[in-house]
């Protein structure tokens, strides 16, 4: 029976390691290894090149300019670094370029100039460096080609065959499920090797991690408000699932996120009944709409869709917050965005904090006075 | 006269491996380990998702080693499964030897062996999946729009022609009325031989209905639009191209398992018929 005992002890030890390993996700940690994964993205440093895995699971090789392409990679899967010209689909990637200190590499975007509030992007348009390459789902491939990009950052894998035929490398920057807070904060470390800006990526991450720690410290032990994030549109109800970074942030800031049980992609569709059911219990509601898109007051939201008037935050004792236009174009200030959200959840922990990225909606739209300014 | 300890050791090891107590201990440990795995997967699914694309060894060297706090349960499970496989092999073989030693009637032999055949089949299936995770090569990011062609490493080609979607047409699932249930992606396939001779064939791809071309498995990873008018104007399929030399092993294992199950059921049916018959009842 001694052998049996040894086997049992060995197995118990393995299980113990697992128990000690725990299942908690350590938000705000990074590891110094030749291999690093950021959610499903990864960066694997090899002897002569760096292998990265993008959001679609594709392997790309990053090589120094003029270096030899490694074997086993298609020509458009080999990217010379540092990248000098980029077309970016999402504002998030544009913000990351700014965070890495390489905003001048941006040569194409999928929103026209008037949609941008970022000074560096507007300036790029004025200088003629940045071009509008069409809406993200109706891309003008010839316009992209005319910009001679070294790289296209996209969420849309369906453009890859066309880009391959144009000889332009593509990196898919989103995954099928919403990114968690850790991945959202560390995504910069996935992009940094494309530009040889690893030190800047690390500094950005540490800055955001410090903000997160501040939020943890300030909100510890406070009574948890109940929050929801999403919107009712004409035909669809979309919310942030429990695995999204905002949901995780709300949890870390000592609050209850009411769609924690929902898993999937960002802006996931749910039933109207579920939205209203959770909404009856909520203290705070974050809408997707900016004031430009009609989120000017609780009454304005209720006018657009009377069903939403049933949720508690739209009543007199609730609070509704709308993102300002700069919110979606300021991820290079992610630390400030996180603190804004935490200050909304626990205003008592951040006395006098000036909101920069959100606005609380009044009950009704301000009445315009006749002859007033 | 007692056998020497050196001579006795293999026998003792064999007896321990074949022990039902070991089976029970392993089952308890596996249950505990998988319970932890469930919790770990809930919080860290993204660490495990790449495993089928990059292969088990590469995954263990990279994602597994870099996230040991979250993956330790998986390595423990692998160890426990190896022990369980050895235990099953030893236990089954010991029983098999016993049955054969008793020299049962030739007619009854297949039915008596049936449960053990199923045990061996499970081992073959496990070995097949292990081989698959060790040796399969997978390329997950191949997207095609209608009219585009993809070339496989051996020269075979697949041209994506069109969708013929079947949508959910009921209020059975709230909020999903009109969503595509089966995309029915039509492909024109030319194997390497077809490419030389000018032949081609048409086939349809769906979830759980892959296409096989010259040993390559073509799986549907994603498609758009998911409902008429959706997909933001894009219509495409994202394919996973997979070459899995071990697939034949686990398929063979499944065939063996089914054979064992059929033999077992026939044996039980035969026994039940005998018991219920007037002659059998009088026994």
The answer to whether residue A12 scores a pLDDT higher than 80 is: no
Enumerate the residues of chain A whose CB falls inside 8 A of the CB of residue B44.
Answer: 23, 25
A175 touches chain B (CB under 8 A): yes
pLDDT of B172 reads 66
Confidence band for A11, pLDDT divided at 50, 70 and 90: low
CB contact under 8 A, A25 and B222: no
B229 — pLDDT class (breaks 50, 70, 90): low
Predicted complex ipTM: 0.73
**Residue B155 pLDDT more than 90?**
no
| A206-to-A189, A236, A361, B67, B182 alpha-carbon distances in Å | 11, 38, 33, 20, 46
Tell me whether residues B141 and A270 touch, CB distance under 8 A: no
Q: Does A160 sit within 8 Å of B141, measured CB to CB?
A: yes
The whole-chain average pLDDT of chain B stands at: 86
From chain A, the residues in CB contact with B234 under 8 A are 137, 156, 158
Window from B49-58, B70-79, B180-189, B250-259 with minimum mean pLDDT = B49-58
Whether residue A15 and residue B13 make contact (CB cut-off 8 A), yes or no, is no
Per-residue pLDDT at B176 exceeds 90: no
Dist CA A198 CA A200 (whole Å):
5
Task: Give pLDDT, residue A29.
Answer: 46
Query: What pLDDT score was predicted for residue A202?
Result: 94
Closest to B169 (Cα-Cα) out of B156, B180, B158, B157 = B180
Closest-CA residue to B45 (of B77, B24, B26, B71)? B71
For A127-184, how does the pLDDT look when each residue is reduced to its tens digit (9 = 90+)?
999 999 999 888 899 999 999 999 999 998 888 888 988 999 999 999 878 888 889 9
Which chain A residue is nearest to residue B22, measuring alpha carbons? Answer: A4
Distance of CA B176 to the CA centre of its chain: 30
Q: How many residues does chain B have?
A: 283
Q: What is the pLDDT of residue A366?
A: 76
Q: By CA distance, what is A14's nearest residue in B?
A: B76
Helix, strand, or coil here: A37?
Answer: strand
List chain A residues with CB under 8 Å of B83: 7, 11
CA-based nearest residue to A53, from A66, A63, A69, A39: A39
Q: Answer whether B72 touches A (CB < 8 Å).
A: yes
Residue of B nearest to A22 (CA): B69
Higher pLDDT, B230 or A82: A82
In this structure, what is the dihedral angle of CA atoms A205, A206, A211, A212, given to the nearest 10 degrees? Answer: 70
pLDDT band at residue A28, thresholds of 50, 70 and 90?
very low
> Which residue, among A2, A5, A9, A11, would best test binding to B if mutated, counting the most B CBs under 10 Å from its CB?
A11
Lowest pLDDT segment from A243-252, A253-262, B132-141:
B132-141
- Across A126-135, B135-144, B172-181, least confident range: B172-181
Q: How confident is the model at residue A359 (pLDDT cuts 50, 70, 90)?
A: very high
Closest to A182 measured CA to CA, from A266, A253, A243? A243
Is the pTM higher than 0.90? The answer reads no
Q: Does A138 touch chain B (CB under 8 A)?
A: yes
As a whole number of angstroms, the distance between CA A337 and CA A334 comes to 5
Mutate to test the interface with A, among B12, B49, B62, B171 (most CBs of A within 10 A): B62
pLDDT at B87 over 60: yes
As a whole number of angstroms, the distance between CA A118 and CA A306 comes to: 35
CA gap A156, A133 in Å, rounded: 14
Average pLDDT over residues A346-371: 86
Q: Which of A25, A31, A156 sits opposite B66 (nearest CB)?
A: A31
Which of A37, A54, A159 is the closest to B66 by Cβ?
A37
Nearest-CA residue of chain A relative to B151?
A: A161
Is residue B151 within 8 angstroms of chain A, CB to CB? Answer: no
What proportion of chain A, given as a percentage, has pLDDT over 70? 90
Distance CA B43, CA A182 (A): 12
More confident residue, A266 or A154: A154
The tokens for B160 are 């994506």
Q: Around A19, how many Cα atoms within 13 Å sit in the side-chain half-sphere?
A: 8
Q: Is B171 on the interface with A (CB under 8 A)?
A: no
More confident of the two residues A365 and B258: B258
Q: Is A75 helix (H, G, I), strand (E, B) or coil?
A: helix
- Give residue B128's pLDDT band: very low, low, confident or very high (50, 70, 90): very high
Q: What is the DSSP secondary structure assignment for residue A311, as one 8-state letter?
A: S
CA neighbours closer than 13 Å in the CB half-sphere of residue A263: 7
Calculate mean pLDDT across residues B154-171.
86
Instruction: Using a CB–CB cutoff of 8 Å, tell me whether A128 touches chain B.
Output: no
Question: Is there a contact between B128 and B247 (Cβ–Cβ < 8 Å)?
Answer: yes
**Chain segment A97-129, per-residue pLDDT in tens:** 999 999 999 999 999 999 999 999 999 999 999
Look at residue A188 and tell me whether its pLDDT is greater than 70: yes
- State whether residue A261 sits within 8 Å of chain B by CB: no
- pLDDT, one tens digit per residue, over A29-74 is 444 448 999 988 999 999 889 999 999 889 999 999 999 999 989 8
**Closest among A74, A46, A38 to A59, alpha carbons compared:** A74
Range A309-315 average pLDDT:
93
Which residue has tokens 């109800």? A237
């Amino acid at each position: 029976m001694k052998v049996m005992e040894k086997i049992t002890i060995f197995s118990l030890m393995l299980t113990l390691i697992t128990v000690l390993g725990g299942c908690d996700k350590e938000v705000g940690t990074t590891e110094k290894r030749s291999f690093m994964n950021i959610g499903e993205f990864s960066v694997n440093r090899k002897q002569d090149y760096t292998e990265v895995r993008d959001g679609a699971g594709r392997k790309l090789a990053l090589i120094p300019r003029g270096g030899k392409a490694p074997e086993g990679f298609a020509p458009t899967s080999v990217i010379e670094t540092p990248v000098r010209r980029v077309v970016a689909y999402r504002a998030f990637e544009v913000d990351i370029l700014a965070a890495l200190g390489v905003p001048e590499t941006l040569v194409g975007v999928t929103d026209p100039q008037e949609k941008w509030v970022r000074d560096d992007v507007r300036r790029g348009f004025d200088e003629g460096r940045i071009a509008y390459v069409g809406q993200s789902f109706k891309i003008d491939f010839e316009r992209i080609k005319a910009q001679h990009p070294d790289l296209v950052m996209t969420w849309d894998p369906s453009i890859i065959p066309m880009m391959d035929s144009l000889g332009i490398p593509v990196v898919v920057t989103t995954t099928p499920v919403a990114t968690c807070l850790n991945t959202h904060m560390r995504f910069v470390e996935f992009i940094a090797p494309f530009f040889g800006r690893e030190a800047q990526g690390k500094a950005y991450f540490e800055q955001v991690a410090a903000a997160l720690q501040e939020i943890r410290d300030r909100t510890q032990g406070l009574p948890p408000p109940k929050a929801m994030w999403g919107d009712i549109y004409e035909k669809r109800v979309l919310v942030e699932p429990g695995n999204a970074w905002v949901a995780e942030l709300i949890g870390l800031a000592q609050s209850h996120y009411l769609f924690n049980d929902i898993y999937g992609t960002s802006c996931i569709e749910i039933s109207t009944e579920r939205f209203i059911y959770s909404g009856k219990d909520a203290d705070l509601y974050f809408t997707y709409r900016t004031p430009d898109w009609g989120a000017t007051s609780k009454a304005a939201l209720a006018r657009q869709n009377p069903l939403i008037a049933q949720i508690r935050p739209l009543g007199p004792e609730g609070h509704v917050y709308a993102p300002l236009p700069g919110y979606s174009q300021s991820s290079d200030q992610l630390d400030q965005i996180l603190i804004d959200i935490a200050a909304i959840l626990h205003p008592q922990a951040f006395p006098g904090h000036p909101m920069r990225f959100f606005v609380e909606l009044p009950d009704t739209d301000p009445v315009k006075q006749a002859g007033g300014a | 006269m007692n056998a020497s300890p050196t001579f006795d050791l293999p026998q003792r090891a064999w007896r321990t491996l074949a022990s039902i107590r070991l089976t029970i201990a392993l089952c308890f440990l596996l249950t505990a380990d998988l319970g932890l795995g469930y919790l770990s997967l809930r919080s860290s699914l993204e660490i495990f998702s790449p495993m089928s694309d990059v292969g088990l060894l590469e995954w263990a060297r990279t994602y597994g080693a870099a996230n040991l706090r979250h993956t330790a349960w998986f390595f423990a499970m692998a160890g426990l499964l190896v022990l369980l496989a050895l235990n099953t092999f030893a236990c089954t073989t010991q029983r098999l030897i016993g049955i054969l030693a008793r020299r049962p009637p030739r007619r009854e032999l297949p039915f008596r062996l049936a449960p053990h055949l199923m045990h061996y089949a499970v081992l073959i299936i496990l070995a097949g999946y292990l081989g698959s995770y060790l040796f399969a090569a997978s390329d997950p990011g191949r997207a095609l729009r209608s009219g585009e062609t993809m070339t496989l490493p051996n020269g075979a080609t697949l041209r994506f022609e069109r969708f013929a979607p079947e949508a959910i047409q009921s209020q059975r699932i709230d909020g999903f009325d009109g969503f595509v249930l089966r995309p029915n992606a039509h492909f024109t396939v030319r194997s390497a031989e077809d490419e030389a001779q000018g032949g081609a064939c048409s086939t349809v791809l769906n979830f759980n209905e892959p296409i096989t071309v010259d040993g390559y498995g073509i799986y549907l990873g994603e498609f758009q639009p998911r409902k008429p008018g959706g997909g933001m104007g894009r219509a495409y399929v994202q394919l996973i191209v997979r070459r899995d030399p071990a697939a034949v092993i686990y398929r063979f294992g499944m065939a063996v398992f089914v054979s064992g199950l059929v033999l077992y059921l026939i044996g039980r049916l035969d026994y039940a018929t005998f018991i219920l018959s007037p002659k059998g009842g009088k026994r």
